[in-house]
Amino acid sequence: MRSLFTLFFAAFALALLGAESGPTPSAVVHIASFAFHPANLTVQAGEVVTFVNDDSVAHTATAADKSFDSANLDANAKWSHRFEVAGTFQYICAYHPMMKGTITVKPAE
């Protein structure tokens, strides 16, 4: 019975660790010095882009067409989005609209 409990607990712990880590990013956009790095990124449909706020102030990654929005990203926060549809997506920081970026999504191969 004890080994069954240990096995259950280990499986539960692994599930929690997997849930906390989120999707594996295909690409990372760092937010630093009030800019997106890289500002222009190309990925394939189905890939995940993670935005990481390396600044000391809050930012967002908000698509011009409203197809994605990270909402508030405090310092050191990160947010991921899976791009399912091919196209070109321009985005800004809603708090600092001079911060601009573009993600080009190519059809999956």
What pLDDT score does 23 carry? Answer: 66
One digit per residue, pLDDT tens: the chain, 109 residues?
555 444 444 444 444 444 445 667 789 999 999 999 999 999 999 999 999 999 999 999 999 999 999 999 999 999 999 999 999 999 999 999 999 999 999 998 8
Residue 104 CB burial class (10 angstroms; 0-12, 13-18, ≥19): middle
Give the integer Cα–Cα distance in Å for 42 and 106.
Answer: 7
**Whether CATH 3.40.50.920 fits 24-106:** no
pTM of the model: 0.78
DSSP state of 107: P
DSSP state of 25: P
Give the integer Cα–Cα distance in Å for 59 and 51.
Answer: 10
